[in-house]
A and B are shown apart, each in its own frame.
Chain A
Amino acid sequence: MSPQFEIQVIAVIVAVACALPGVFLVLRRMSMMSDSITHTILLGIVLAFFMVHDLSSPLLILGAAVIGVITVWLTEMLGRTRLLAEDAAMGIVFPLLFSIAIILITRYAGAVHLDTDSVLLGELAFAPFDRMVIAGVDIGAKAIYTTGSLLLLNLAVIIIFFKELKVATFDPMLAAVLGFAPAFVHYGLMTLVSLTTVGAFQAVGSILVVAFMIGPPVTAYLLTDDLKRMLILSGLIGAVNGILGYQAAALFDVSIAGSMAVMTGMVFLLVFVFAPGRGFISALRRRKSQKIRFAKMILLFHLYNHEGTEHEVQEAGLDTIQTELHWDTAFTRNIMALLKKEECIEFTDNMVKLTDYGRLTSIHNYEALFSK
């Protein structure tokens, strides 16, 4: 395998592994918790490093995951005092833990290679240098295996506990009644998020893990209502972001992780604008068609209401009708032309008149709206 290919494999694995738990974060409105955890795990890594003095020890991952869960717990405990809002609690806990980590690193770990840059920003390009060698045989980059097992873990947990996660996410009360222990599901999920963050930050840096966790699920959320489909779509979108991001980074010779985050934003933007049904364009189109339908209805009501009354000449006059309706001239002409085409109205003696069909439509609309 060439290094380029290996990097892309790692990127895809990391992206999918992050996107899966990210779906539940987005749905549970805990997206910013991922940001919080990505910062605080640094403290877990530092503390574990002080205990074992070995940068490759698996204890570092354990320490990071434990601190991740502690972050969530502290934030919720502070929020539960009701002395401050939940988001403010988050904004106090994570900078404090992060600051302690930075102070510990600057004071005591200056000599070892534990600089904040590499932890926060990550460097995927170096991943292929770290080889996995078993019995003297090189079987690929180490990161493929570490992130690969992470992906398998995430997949396994989500498949096994799919029902529990689903119920606890959409209806925590029901989950409690059914005996699923929402707290257990909650902290289980947070452990998974912490582990994923630890596994992913070595490749892409801790801050950009947020882009990988939240970007694809948010994009998928604009495309589907089905949880299973959202999970699959998120994984696919994550993988596409990873590959496109790497290609762009190689083309312009810039930061790989940064480029993948930018790609995440671009893919989201495309879906945001063009998504069928929920996209920006279809929303605008829907709003416009609703406006026209409503205006047509209003005009028909107006004509029906004043039909045969003494003010009819004024209310339904071809030149005075727009002032009666408070519409501008072009819009009124437009709506009248549309109604004329549908044979609801006709123009006689400089006046707008309902046709028989138009009168029926008006009555029909009225009944549809107000008869219950």
Chain B
Amino acid sequence: MGTLTFLLRDYTFQTVALGSALLGIISGVLGSFAVLRKQSLLGDGVSHSALPGVVLAFILLGSKDTETLLLGALVSGLMATLFIVSIVRHTRIKFDSALALVMSVFFGLGLVLLTYVQKNPNSNQAGLKRFIFGQASTLMQRDILLMAVCGAVLLMLVFLFWKEFKLFTFDSDFAQSLGFSPGKLNLLLSFMIVLAIIIGLQTVGVILMSAMLIAPAVAARQWTNKLWVMVFLSAIFGAVSGIAGTAASSLMAKLPTGPAIVVCVSLIVIASVLLAPGRGILYRLYRRRKNRLLLKLEGGVPDVPTV
């Protein structure tokens, strides 16, 4: 208990926990839409594709400010998305292959640029690599402020376009027939998802960001059939695992924050998949057993069709 109160008063812990919680909320909300639209792996693709943008922004603008680097990440993430979409549209190559190709090529380009920067003796490139693996412990108050502002804008957009996004997610044909432009909505939503991914990069890194986008949403999906409940739960799951992961990594020596957060959120997913009422695995087992018992007790009709 003593360590815990000490932890809560610790400035670094407060900053990192706040950042991780914000990230959890943002990725939880937007991840819900990504998962429902079956674009879960887009997060993986975009976060890998952000690397060349980060390095290029550093080379061209010569600044290591979070804002500059994130801007570069955003541009190259969007470019990668554009490439993927046009490959799928103009060839017979499927989405998954296009995604795998584009993200690995972009990541390769990022590495090339990174080695190019490293040769340059004047520039101290330290800090660029944290975008590959993510380092929540380097989060500063400025970064938190940026996350909060971006997050507020994103949440407000979700709130404003709630009806449109909902309709578009579940029945895009119907949305189109009502006169909504699916192209523009798709673009807006994709743009927002990309922005959410980019925000998370420096906390959990390229590789683990996809989990933050997918896992809270998948866990929330098990507990409800209502979109707003799912989005709300997903945000809570994201925030809780952000804080829990940060706390675990502060309390234990040599426990990296990003992976700790991912393990926390994965535990929530496992619990949800097993325990959720109505949908969960345990409930289904129970129901099957009950049905079998009922069948035995009351007897089945002899000519039940068998599959």
A residues touching B (Cβ–Cβ < 8 Å)?
A: 26, 29-32, 34-35, 39, 78, 81, 83-85, 87-88, 90-92, 95-96, 98-100, 102-103, 106-107, 110, 116, 120-121, 207-208, 210-211, 213-215, 217-218, 221-222, 249, 252-255, 257-262, 264-265, 268, 272, 278, 280, 283
Is B290 engaged at the interface, CB distance under 8 Å to the other chain? no
Residues of B within 8 A of A84 (CB): 35, 218, 221, 273
Bound together, the chains give a CA A249 to CA B91 distance in angstroms of 30
Residues of B within 8 A of A249 (CB): 112
A96–B263 contact, CB under 8 A? yes
Number of A-B contacts (CB under 8 A): 200
Which residue of the partner chain A has the closest CB to B272? A83
B256–A102 contact, CB under 8 A? yes
A265–B109 contact, CB under 8 A? yes
B112–A259 contact, CB under 8 A? yes
Is B111 engaged at the interface, CB distance under 8 Å to the other chain? yes
A222–B108 contact, CB under 8 A? no
B44–A261 contact, CB under 8 A? no
B210–A208 contact, CB under 8 A? no
Given A87-B40, A214-B101, A258 contacting B208 (CB threshold 8 A): no
B261-291 vs A, Cβ < 8 Å mask (1 yes, 0 no): 0110010010001000001110000000000
Range, interface on chain B: 35 or more
Residues of A within 8 A of B94 (CB): 29, 31
Residues of A within 8 A of B263 (CB): 96, 99-100, 103
Bound together, the chains give a CA A78 to CA B270 distance in angstroms of 10
Q: A225: shortest Cβ distance to chain B, in Å?
A: 10
Q: B214: shortest Cβ distance to chain A, in Å?
A: 4
Which residue of the partner chain B has the closest CB to A245? B108
B100–A210 contact, CB under 8 A? yes
Is B13 engaged at the interface, CB distance under 8 Å to the other chain? no
Interface-side segment among B67-75, B113-121, B160-168: B113-121
B273–A83 contact, CB under 8 A? yes
Residues of B within 8 A of A32 (CB): 41, 44, 96, 99-100
Please provide the chain B residues from 46 to 101 with a CB less than 8 Å away from any CB of chain A in the complex.
48, 87, 90-94, 96-101
Q: What 7 pairs between A and B have smallest CB-CB spacing?
A: A261-B108, A258-B111, A265-B105, A95-B211, A99-B259, A211-B104, A91-B214
Bound together, the chains give a CA A103 to CA B245 distance in angstroms of 12
B105–A83 contact, CB under 8 A? no
Is B103 engaged at the interface, CB distance under 8 Å to the other chain? yes
With beta carbons under 8 angstroms apart, the residue of B93, B109, B215, B254 that contacts A106 is: B254
With beta carbons under 8 angstroms apart, the residue of A217, A260, A280 that contacts B90 is: A280
Residues of B within 8 A of A99 (CB): 208, 211, 258-260, 262-263, 266
Given A91-B41, A116-B133, A207-B48, A262 contacting B215 (CB threshold 8 A): no
Residues of B within 8 A of A268 (CB): 101, 105
A254–B93 contact, CB under 8 A? no
Bound together, the chains give a CA A5 to CA B101 distance in angstroms of 27
Residues of A within 8 A of B115 (CB): 253-255, 258
B108–A92 contact, CB under 8 A? no
Q: B28: shortest Cβ distance to chain A, in Å?
A: 14
Bound together, the chains give a CA A34 to CA B108 distance in angstroms of 16
B residues touching A (Cβ–Cβ < 8 Å)?
A: 35, 38, 40-41, 43-44, 48, 87, 90-94, 96-116, 119, 132-133, 207-208, 210-211, 213-215, 217-218, 221-222, 254-256, 258-260, 262-263, 266, 269, 273, 279-281
A110–B254 contact, CB under 8 A? yes
With beta carbons under 8 angstroms apart, the residue of B108, B111, B260, B279 that contacts A83 is: B279
Further pairs besides A32-B99, A258-B108: 18, Cβ < 8 Å: A26-B97, A30-B96, A31-B96, A83-B273, A84-B221, A91-B43, A92-B211, A100-B259, A110-B254, A120-B207, A211-B101, A221-B92, A252-B116, A254-B111, A254-B112, A255-B114, A261-B111, A268-B105
Residues of A within 8 A of B113 (CB): 254
Given A90-B41, A96-B263, A261-B109, A214 contacting B104 (CB threshold 8 A): yes
A208–B104 contact, CB under 8 A? yes
Bound together, the chains give a CA A211 to CA B109 distance in angstroms of 11
Bound together, the chains give a CA A261 to CA B102 distance in angstroms of 10
A255–B259 contact, CB under 8 A? no
Bound together, the chains give a CA A108 to CA B96 distance in angstroms of 36
With beta carbons under 8 angstroms apart, the residue of B103, B109, B133, B258 that contacts A262 is: B109
A258–B112 contact, CB under 8 A? yes
Q: B231: shortest Cβ distance to chain A, in Å?
A: 16
Bound together, the chains give a CA A212 to CA B12 distance in angstroms of 42
Can you identify 16 A-B contacts, CB atoms within 8 angstroms?
A: A26-B97, A31-B96, A32-B44, A34-B100, A35-B104, A83-B222, A88-B38, A91-B214, A92-B211, A99-B211, A120-B207, A214-B100, A214-B104, A215-B101, A218-B97, A260-B108
Residues of B within 8 A of A78 (CB): 273
Residues of A within 8 A of B256 (CB): 102-103, 106
Which residue of the partner chain B has the closest CB to A107? B254
Given A99-B258, A255-B111, A265-B101, A87 contacting B38 (CB threshold 8 A): yes
B255–A103 contact, CB under 8 A? yes
A215–B105 contact, CB under 8 A? yes
Bound together, the chains give a CA A121 to CA B51 distance in angstroms of 13
Q: B203: shortest Cβ distance to chain A, in Å?
A: 14
Bound together, the chains give a CA A30 to CA B208 distance in angstroms of 20
A95–B112 contact, CB under 8 A? no
A95–B210 contact, CB under 8 A? yes
Residues of A within 8 A of B105 (CB): 211, 215, 261-262, 264-265, 268
Q: B134: shortest Cβ distance to chain A, in Å?
A: 10
B40–A88 contact, CB under 8 A? yes
With beta carbons under 8 angstroms apart, the residue of A30, A98, A106, A211 that contacts B255 is: A106
